[in-house]
Structure 1
Amino acid sequence: MPTDCIPYRDTQYFSSLICDYLDEKNNLKPFYNRFPKLENFKAQIEDKQTSFSKETRTILTKALKNQYKDVDISSETLQNIEAINSENTFTITTGHQLNLFTGPLYFFYKIVSTINLCKQLKEEFPNQNFVPVYWMATEDHDFEEINYFNFKGKKVQWNRHASGAVGELNLDGLEAVFEAYKSQLNSAANAEELKQLFKAAYLKHDNLTDAMQYLVNKLFKAYGLVIVDGNDSSLKRLFIPHIKDELLNHTSYTKVSQANNALSNLNDNYKIQVNPRKINLFYIAEGLRERIIKIDEVFKVNNTDIGWSKSELLKHLDKVPERFSPNVIMRPLYQEVILPNLCYIGGGGELAYWLQLRSNFEAQNVVFPMLLLRNSVVLITGKQKEKLQKLNVSIEDLFLKQFDLGTKITTTISEIDLDFSPQKEHLKSQFKTLYKLAEQTDKSFLGAVRAQEKKQIKGLENLEKRLLKAQKRKINNHLSRVNEIQNELFPGQSLQERNTNFSEFYLDHGKELIPKLIQNLEPLNAEFLVLEI
């Protein structure tokens, strides 16, 4: 299966922070533990093995078996859950929101990257076991971020009132969504499979957590993927010491604030993804997920009448730890406390905020995982590739913004020179003579010369733009065909993986789609993949 790779920096779609991280710039090394290279995993395994207790393994294994009690579990996944109880088993983890019907394509790339890294590690370290984990973000409350997916340029959306943790939402209204989606599908075999998959996930379960667990298990159980729901009383109990520290000492606020300042001072282009609060915890109950705040000596749940004294709060925490929900600052710490994890695989934005967290992990005496950028992919058909070749356009060219792409193509194929640089240089040389003349006369004449030079250069630049525009009109048919392909591969002038749902490709490839991704995605190859399917 033909593939091409493009350096992430050359795509122009990744931040300078992430590109510098991938280049292993020295200034960023204090913000992560070990860079994700195969040879670095040995030391990471040793660190995690030493710090991760047998008791935690036992509690985690029991919790996972309970979470899977009503699921059609595969022998591969069951074997992986059982293996977690062994001290020579470790996890590789990715996480994601409960997007409707998995949301954009990169959801698949995250999980496939995780599965493939486990395979690669097993080959390198045959005496250890490596379990791929998908962490369901069941406690999130950003419903507007997850209530739709894009299918063939149209938004399939679930409209309803929502409050509290999204995982606990009932599935009212999804019958109408199913009918709307079904109407866009034909009656071919792959389309029927998609209908049945959506129907079984969303019309035959009681809440969004169960629906997502069913869907992801159905898609990836053959590869032994283990799905974790962190909204679990027994798992939250393991996190109680860190919750207490957060409530009473505000360690994460101090450490992450310091890290943010240090990152900002390194480079003005490094964007801070998340800012900590004094208390980085929510309180969750039925239909409720609100911040915990402290006012004077009283701990309160924001926008409610719920409140406690310090002693009351600690008793409540010991009684119902599941009510305490970590926010984006604390969730990574929670994950690493309860999992024997070596590496977190995420997108650029995720890794950017993980880089803010290392000092907090050190203060909490929790091993900081390796951070691996998930595989990024653009899927291209043979027909699209053939069209590009006929148009003499490379796939790398399509990463340009459409205006810049049009300019490059026009400049390349135009029969006349569209670059007025020689004329500008000639004009500047003429004005040098005028400057010398002005210096020999009245110096006030210098201003008039400068103004005239600026006017003349501006005039040439305007002519250059008009000539380019005229040439673009002349080859409009050629540019339209290029733009059509770019719009197919980069919908909305964005990356395909951030926009398109997997079902568009499932229609053509069916059950072969995931094996094709498994076959071609190499998680430790830090380049953008162009995959012909």
Structure 2
Amino acid sequence: MNVIPQALRKGSALGEDYVRGQHAQELYEYDLRDGQSLRRRAEWLDASRQRPRVDRNSLVEVLGDYNARYNGSPEVKGSLEKLKDERTLVVVGGQQSGLFTGSLLVIYKAATIIHAARLASEELGRDVVPVFWIAGEDHDWDEADHTYVLTSELEVRRLRMESWHDGKSSVSGVKVPTEEWEKAIAELELTLADSEYKAEIMELLRSELPQSLSLSEGFARLLGRLFGRYGLVLVDSADPALRRLETPMFERLIERNDEFEAAYLRAAERIEAAGYEQQAQAVEGAANLFYIQEGQRLLLYKQDGKFVDRRGTVILTKEELLERLRRCPECFSNNVLTRPLMQDYLFPVLQAVLGLGEIAYWAGTKDGFETAGMQMPILLPRMSFTLLDPSTKKHMEHYGLTFEDVMERFGSRKEAWLAEQDKLGMDDLFEQAKAEFEQLYKPVIERLGELQAGLANLGEINREKIARQIAFLQEKTKQTIARQNEAELRRWDRIYKTLFPLDRPQERVYTVFYVLNRYGLDWVDELMKIEPDLNGGHRIIEA
């Protein structure tokens, strides 16, 4: 693979500034570009024995049970064995589960976590374990139930697992019947182009997914197959056994809820004062916790000294909420502001691997970490890539297109190229005809007005009709030229839909199985051989 650095349009000003080391450092604990950050964070973790943290052996036992079911590679067992040692640290990152692992950015995030753990281990001279946090407690099914591939007809096809539930249950809590998996796999098989690797890919999916009880379980099985050999440990945030270990931290979040609320509001004020928008909105009266009742994940607020949800389904005093926590830990769940704290309670997090949007909303957690007696870890941007296949590269070179052209001005470049195919100069002739017609007809309408006012109005209507007819014929001529160049216009469309499907970066749309169908399962190993860039840059991979 040839790898080329290339700027990519990004979406978060705060995340961008953090990565560049500009203006935003006071909102975070560590400067990404400070060469001493890694050692200072490790030293803090070693020295802060009184910080809230789970029993290490209990955690490893829960992780061992979970990974034995879905991610049982010997290398993963080795990572878990290392994690028993109190000196072992963790690099963690995660994503909500998605159909067929969701988009490529999930794969790039997993690769970043593994590379970062290896590099940190080498620099510190101690074990650092990679951990992927599956956000199974999230309840936004509409974000998790689909993925995309590009068909041979140049359609960006959305593959979706149809909903059969209320949409308020956590993704890990929604049971997926075997027939739903089979339907999704069959649709993918029909959509993917035939290739020498297709049979192997379909066999992998059929061996793992139909036995999965939920979308998160299927997600874990596939990640395990793709990255287990690199020692990547998986954890589902909705795992009931994990939730029981989290009880002491939930108690702290409930008992000191007003302090945490104030901390999040302080951070929000600082973010806005620095000129940025909040990514995770801190709201007065928010408890920043969810309560799960009858399968529904309800966001809690504080009202008149009680914890309530918006609809009043749950109305509990602090004491009642704590009692329910002790009886049913799995009935509780974090939101985006408390999840980073829970992650740090469970793991000795050296670095957290995040997307730029995630880096932006983590700025709102700094004071929350301090309130909890913790410290925000080093935030690492995930690696970012665009895959450029030989055919697309060839077409871009043929039309003289750069990556920036496709990203910033594709429409105008395409229109200019099509205009060049008007060898007879028809468009110029039509523009000339329209201008000359207007010039000739204008005095006619003026004389008609002198003759009778009504005739001038009629003349104006007549002028508009003739102008529309000329424009209609001009457009038909353009369409004819386009049809004559249809094959080449399809090449233009393929270029754009390959690099920016749905007007979004490729990594945010296509599933990895679309890529594996083209290059084979070994593609993941080839990806892992690329020299890692942990500074937030974007690169083109010429496959």
TM-score range, shorter chain: 0.7 to 0.9
Closer, same or farther in 2 for the Cα pair 1:246/1:219, shift >3 Å?
Answer: same
One-letter amino acid of the counterpart of residue 183, structure 2: A
How far residue 121 of structure 1 moved from its aligned partner, in angstroms, is 1.8
Show the counterpart of 2:140.
142
User: What secondary structure is seen at the aligned counterpart in 2 of 1:368?
Assistant: coil
What does 1:197-236 align with in structure 2 at a 5 Å threshold? 197-233=204-240, 235-236=242-243
| Contact 1:141/1:166, CA 8 A, preserved across alignment | yes
State how far apart, in whole Å, the 2-side matches of 1:39 and 1:193 are: 46
Closer, same or farther in 2 for the Cα pair 1:482/1:475, shift >3 Å?
Answer: farther
Matching residue within 31, 37, 49 for 1:35: 31
Note if 1:369 corresponds to 2:367: no
Cα distance per residue 1:178-213 (max 9 Å; x no partner) = 222222246655212222232233311222332222
| Contact 1:252/1:360, CA 8 A, preserved across alignment | yes
| Contact 1:52/1:340, CA 8 A, preserved across alignment | no
Show the counterpart of 1:499.
509
> CA RMSD for the aligned pairs?
2.9
Show the counterpart of 1:181.
188
One-letter amino acid of the counterpart of residue 173, structure 2: E
Note if 1:515 corresponds to 2:515: no
State how far apart, in whole Å, the 1-side matches of 2:481 and 2:539 are: 31
Closer, same or farther in 2 for the Cα pair 1:76/1:36, shift >3 Å?
Answer: farther
Q: Percent identity of the aligned residues? A: 26
Show the counterpart of 2:173.
168
| Contact 1:117/1:523, CA 8 A, preserved across alignment | no
State how far apart, in whole Å, the 2-side matches of 1:375 and 1:97 are: 18
What does 1:297-308 align with in structure 2 at a 5 Å threshold? 297-303=305-311, 305-308=313-316
Cα distance per residue 1:119-161 (max 9 Å; x no partner) = 2222222x31111111011111000111111122111111123
Residue segments in structure 2 that go unaligned for 5+ positions in a row? 151-155, 422-474
State how far apart, in whole Å, the 1-side matches of 2:173 and 2:538 are: 36
Show the counterpart of 1:195.
202
| Contact 1:109/1:375, CA 8 A, preserved across alignment | yes
Show the counterpart of 2:5.
5
Q: How many residues align?
A: 471
Closer, same or farther in 2 for the Cα pair 1:58/1:337, shift >3 Å?
Answer: same
Note if 1:251 corresponds to 2:243: no
Cα distance per residue 1:414-466 (max 9 Å; x no partner) = xxxxxxxxxxxxxxxxxxxxxxxxxxxxxxxxxxxxxxxxxxxxxxxxxxxxx
| Contact 1:345/1:372, CA 8 A, preserved across alignment | yes
Residue segments in structure 1 that go unaligned for 5+ positions in a row? 414-468
TM-score by length of 2: 0.80
How far residue 100 of structure 1 moved from its aligned partner, in angstroms, is 0.7
TM-score by length of 1: 0.81
One-letter amino acid of the counterpart of residue 373, structure 2: N
Note if 1:23 corresponds to 2:20: yes
| Contact 2:54/2:246, CA 8 A, preserved across alignment | no
| Contact 1:201/1:212, CA 8 A, preserved across alignment | no
What does 1:71-470 align with in structure 2 at a 5 Å threshold? 71=70, 73-125=72-124, 127-152=125-150, 153-162=156-165, 163-172=168-177, 173-185=180-192, 188-233=195-240, 235-248=242-255, 249-267=257-275, 270-277=276-283, 278-303=286-311, 305-403=313-411, 405-406=413-414
| Contact 1:252/1:276, CA 8 A, preserved across alignment | no
How far residue 28 of structure 1 moved from its aligned partner, in angstroms, is 1.2
User: What secondary structure is seen at the aligned counterpart in 1 of 2:520?
Assistant: helix
State how far apart, in whole Å, the 1-side matches of 2:29 and 2:248 are: 23
State how far apart, in whole Å, the 2-side matches of 1:320 and 1:50 are: 33
User: What secondary structure is seen at the aligned counterpart in 2 of 1:279?
Assistant: strand
State how far apart, in whole Å, the 2-side matches of 1:211 and 1:144 are: 17
| Contact 2:73/2:231, CA 8 A, preserved across alignment | yes
Closer, same or farther in 2 for the Cα pair 1:261/1:474, shift >3 Å?
Answer: farther
| Contact 2:301/2:307, CA 8 A, preserved across alignment | yes
How far residue 261 of structure 1 moved from its aligned partner, in angstroms, is 1.9
